[in-house]
Amino acid sequence: MKTILSLICAAFLIASCTKNNKSSSADPREINGMKFSSMKLKNDLEVMVISDPRFKKSAAALAVGVGSLADPNEAQGLAHYLEHMLFMGTKKYPAHDEYRDFIEKNGGYSNAYTADEITNYLFEIDTGAYKEALDRFAQFFISPLLDERYLEKEKNAVNSEFDRNIEKDHWRLYRMSTVIAKKEHPYNTFNIGSNKTLKDVKRKDVLEFYKKYYSADNMKLVLVSSKPIDELKKLARTNFNSVPKFKYQKNEYDFQYFNKNEQPQITFIQSIQDRYILQVFFNTPDYVDYWQSKPTLMLAYLLGDESEGSLLSYLKEKGWALKLSASPEVHWRDFGFNLTLTKKGRENYQQVVQAIFAAIELVKEKGYPKYVFEDNQEIARLELENLEASGGAGMASSFAAKIMDYPVDEVIDRSFLIEKYSKEDFETFLSYLRKDNAHIFVASQNEKTDQTEKPFGIKYRTTNFKAPLDDKALAPLKKQMALPKQNPFIARSFDLVNSDKTQSEAQTLTENGFKLHVQTDTELGIPKTYLDTYFQSAIENNPKNYLLSSLYAKCKEEELREWAYPALTAGYSYSISSVFGDKMAVSVSGFSEKIDLLLTTILEDSEKKREISQCQIDEKRLDQIKDKMLLDLSNFKKMEAFRRLMLESQIVSVDKEIHWEQYKNMVASVSLKDLNQFGKDFFNKVFVEVVASGNITSKGVKALAQNISTSLEAELLSLKKAEAQNRQFVLPPKSKEVAYKLSGNNNNNAMMTSYYLKDWNINDHAHLMVLGKLISPAYFSELRSNQQLGYVVFSFPNLDSGYIGFNGLIQSQNHKASYLKGQSDKFVENFVSDLSGKLTDKDLEPVIAALVNELEKKATVLAQRHSKFKKLALQYNGHFSMEKDLIAAVKNMKASDLKEFMKSSFMQDKVGRLTYYYLGQNSHKENKTLDGEVITSPNATADWVKKDPYKSVGNMDNPST
């Protein structure tokens, strides 16, 4: 686990361990259809290649063994700055936007991040353009220009990234971990960088850092593609043998980054958002060398447990905590706890810390249970045996980082396998969890402080923790806790319902009160099932019910938490979520053997006398949930500017969404009696819609539906009644320009313009997909790289909401929102006008080829396949042939077709346009310069409701709450 700077790529999550299940040392090695092989180039650059014909795209990642810990004191942020500069052209491809433009036009994306000890560059692209992309990518490490023309611009880009992070509490906590570090330790630096810390950096300084660390023998390369192993190795040799090998010596860092004290030191930190955070962390050595026994994983399993008798269970019972996690590298070279406290928990923070130390002492007293090792070993074995071929840049970058820690030909075994039960290793790391080796953070808005950190401006105070942590103080607490029991949810049966590993035709079955969407999908050989069950109630969707629905879902999840936690650790997942005031969902996924048991027990558990229409928590726990909701609602105005705009746009664009301002004053008065009456009323009359895919048959889903019906004991609504309650879209009238104004406390301004172009149809859906591939890289290049309007700059087509739309978004600290909007409009207008005049069929060829490849190849991860199936079933009314229709439309597209689409949409006066403006700390009074009719409430859009050809289940994350 590394602390990441810059944009974070989509992560490929690797299981931590598994039972000893090594394959032979033969190369290549095959796992679930993926072939892995390794090699070392003549310049000592180590390479892993991963081949699978199922991969939709090709990808690459190159990790360099240097990060922000290597920054010179006089140029803090230099490693991160160099990461930015490598994108600004190479000797072979000097144009600063050539690489990004090529990647995006060929259906891909690129990114990079700088961590404490590595810098990781990555991209993915249509396989047809992979060879050319690798040539461009390799030049980063062979002959970067480090162009003088972009030195200052990229300093500004780094500074914009820093500005973006100033008001993010997780960044502030990470920054404070570097502040409390020993002054002589390299961790005691400002790792992002800013105009101030990079002010005196010249090209020679960047080049010197590059030549010091960017040596071939300090790099690890991973290639991921559907191309054969031998061809991938040839591409590696052809493109990367020329990466220079400099004189390089690996940096070593002392793991003890903060000073020991007889009693822990505690730092009180003022947060930006209204929340209560507590962290307790202990310096530990790097765990990489302990891969065979993985002691930190075992510690996290025991101390981060959430089942009955756990530390978190005790803290919840006291009303002190809502969430807890325990993990290695909370910051860097440490093991620690991260807790979300209640207000009462903040008031009793000393007792919370004592409880944490009591839990640690309990583990020391009870020792390391053999069944904990065996459970984790078995769970991880299952994860490895069912490893899915995710492919892409995420997979490549994850393995590139892993190879920094482990030899390339052993990285799979060392990353996945748990090979031995070692009390010695376990106790070695456990021994570091003691009071003289600990530091404590407490963060909230109202902390008393006496110092101010630079450059974030964090107010803080550090002192000694005063409460006793001896045996006398901890002994009574230990008696109220217990270690987790052996896990009853570990799957034992893995039979596939279709042994021939096929994906059946999707089907929709309608029965009395039920609509069932089913697709048997064993093509990947994964014995898992995904089930989403939606309950459409007959009650009204009004602000009060919207609130009660959200609270009810949260309370039911909380009620089930301790019972369900072992299932979560065994590879299952579940959620109970509010969709609207009249719609809720219960979702489960995991190994098929026990998936129906998990769902039906959530709905009704006769042994514990639980049912879905009642909520069995007490008033104290309800008060905690309500307090957390009120904090979350109050924090919306403190969100990052562009995220707030996207949140508001989701609410404004759907008639059934209800803004939190309409119900926030009702939260405090909700009682447990209110909730249970709501549950009774909600589930009294319902229509049930099930979306099921994976290792399940239509017969199995019908049987499941019967079990659901039995569990509910409800009157079932008709399909006609349920469909009458579908959501509708809110679109501004044609030719109308509207400004939706928001004010907030973020230090940035932002704007997002949404163009509502046309009613939905398959051909224009295809047109906008293609146009989006052309306009997005140019939008970024011009408005971010050239004009430097801000760090967050992107555009995207709106294709998922029953209409054809387009969005441009910019966030900036230096410019007013109205100026950003003007520059965005100007760019879009000029780009479309220019493109409609000169676009040729040849220009479209690579874009169409990449898009067709993307549409034709099936996802190689079962969760992604289920997500797509669910979207077609629910949002597109079971239009399961939609991808085939899109492929045909894209394949047949000519330049003349796209030109006509641009003229009939962007280049005419009847386009409705809604621009969301976020006016930050210094711009709240900006009004006169906003284009169009200014509104400040989503209620002003009530008359814009439009019936569209397709529906949607809404945002399952329930953004309003």
pLDDT digits (tens, 9 = 90+) for 124-160: 999 999 999 999 999 999 999 999 999 999 999 999 9
- Compute, in degrees rounded to 10, the torsion defined by CA atoms 708, 714, 718, 722: -80
Query: What mean pLDDT do residues 318-322 have?
Result: 95
- Calculate the CA 179 to chain-centre distance: 27
What residue type is 481 in one-letter code?
A: M
pLDDT at 7: 32
Q: Give the span between the Cα atoms of 347 and 240, in whole angstroms.
A: 58
DSSP 222-273: EEEESS-HHHHHHHHHHHHTTS-----------S--S---SS-EEEEEE-SS
Q: What are the φ and ψ backbone dihedral angles of 420, each rounded to 5 degrees?
A: -150, 150
pLDDT at 951: 46
Beta bridge partners of 90: 144
What is the DSSP code (8-state) at residue 210? Answer: H
DSSP helix/strand/coil, 915 = strand
Beta-carbon-side half-sphere exposure of residue 248 (alpha carbons within 13 Å): 21
Residue 910 or 28, more confident: 28
pLDDT at 931: 87
**DSSP E strand stretches across 403-513:** 438-444, 451-452, 459-464, 507-511
Contacts of 325 (CB under 8 A, 6+ apart): 304, 337, 338, 339
Q: Which residue has the tokens 């290793």?
A: 425
pLDDT at 386: 87
Q: Which two tokens stand for residue 114?
A: 């700088």
pLDDT at 727: 80
The 10 Å Cβ neighbour count of residue 740 is 26
Q: Give the span between the Cα atoms of 686 and 534, in whole angstroms.
A: 9
Q: Which residue has the tokens 């052996």?
A: 486
Q: Give the span between the Cα atoms of 771 and 764, in whole angstroms.
A: 10
pLDDT at 907: 82
pLDDT in tens, 495-542: 999 888 899 999 999 988 899 999 999 999 999 999 999 999 999 999
What residue type is 831 in one-letter code?
A: F
The 10 Å Cβ neighbour count of residue 707 is 16
Pairing of strands 438-444, 277-283: antiparallel
Query: What mean pLDDT do residues 801-827 have?
Result: 91
Residue 238 or 637, more confident: 238
Beta bridge partners of 761: none
pLDDT at 9: 33
Asked whether the predicted pLDDT for residue 1 surpasses 80, the reply is: no
How far lies 344's CA from each of 559, 615, 623, 628, 932, in Å? 20, 23, 11, 12, 47
| Mean pLDDT over the full length of the chain | 91
What is the DSSP code (8-state) at residue 731? Answer: -
Percent of the chain scoring above 90 in pLDDT: 78
pLDDT at 802: 67
Asked whether the predicted pLDDT for residue 10 surpasses 60, the reply is: no
pLDDT in tens, 262-281: 999 999 999 999 999 999 99
Pairing of strands 912-919, 729-730: unpaired
What confidence tier does 801 reach under pLDDT thresholds 50, 70, 90?
A: low
Query: What mean pLDDT do residues 709-726 have?
Result: 88
pLDDT at 925: 63
What confidence tier does 493 reach under pLDDT thresholds 50, 70, 90?
A: confident
Q: Which class for 466: exposed (0-12), middle (13-18), buried (19 or more C-beta within 10 A)?
A: exposed
Query: What mean pLDDT do residues 231-251 have?
Result: 95
How far lies 550's CA from each of 544, 619, 626, 660, 663, in Å? 10, 17, 10, 11, 11
Q: Which residue has the tokens 């039972």?
A: 19
Q: Give the span between the Cα atoms of 35 and 54, in whole angstroms.
A: 11
DSSP helix/strand/coil, 733 = coil
Q: Give the span between the Cα atoms of 211 and 146, in whole angstroms.
A: 12
- Compute, in degrees rounded to 10, the torsion defined by CA atoms 227, 232, 235, 239: 120
Q: Give the span between the Cα atoms of 72 and 124, in whole angstroms.
A: 32
pLDDT in tens, 649-690: 989 888 889 999 999 999 999 999 999 999 999 999 999 999
Asked whether the predicted pLDDT for residue 910 surpasses 80, the reply is: no
Any idea how long the chain is? Answer: 961
Q: Give the span between the Cα atoms of 135 and 145, in whole angstroms.
A: 15
Q: Give the span between the Cα atoms of 428 and 613, in whole angstroms.
A: 48
The 10 Å Cβ neighbour count of residue 852 is 18
Query: What mean pLDDT do residues 773-800 have?
Result: 90
The 10 Å Cβ neighbour count of residue 30 is 13
Beta bridge partners of 796: 807
Q: Give 73-128 as a 3 state SS string.
A: HHHCCHHHHHHHHCCCCECCCCCCCHHHHHHHHCCCEEEEEECCCCEEEEEEECHH
Lowest mean pLDDT among 80-84, 364-368, 605-609, 881-885: 605-609
Q: Which two tokens stand for residue 453?
A: 């950190």
Angle between helices 78-85 and 151-165 (to 10 degrees): 120
Residue 927 or 131, more confident: 131
The 10 Å Cβ neighbour count of residue 935 is 15
Beta bridge partners of 750: 811, 918
Asked whether the predicted pLDDT for residue 15 surpasses 50, the reply is: no
DSSP helix/strand/coil, 24 = coil
Pairing of strands 459-464, 265-270: antiparallel
pLDDT in tens, 729-781: 888 888 889 999 998 888 899 999 999 888 888 999 999 999 999 999 999 99
Tell me which H or E stretch contains 630: helix 619-635
What is the dihedral sign for C-alpha 265, 270, 273, 274? positive
pLDDT at 34: 93
- Calculate the CA 836 to chain-centre distance: 37
- Calculate the CA 5 to chain-centre distance: 15
pLDDT at 813: 87
Beta-carbon-side half-sphere exposure of residue 467 (alpha carbons within 13 Å): 16
Number of helices (H), then strands (E), belonging to the chain: the values are 29, 31
Contacts of 292 (CB under 8 A, 6+ apart): 417, 418, 419, 420, 422, 425
What is the dihedral sign for C-alpha 556, 562, 567, 568? positive
pLDDT in tens, 857-882: 888 999 999 999 999 999 888 889 99
pLDDT in tens, 17-29: 333 333 334 578 9
Query: What mean pLDDT do residues 292-315 have?
Result: 96
Pairing of strands 58-64, 119-125: antiparallel
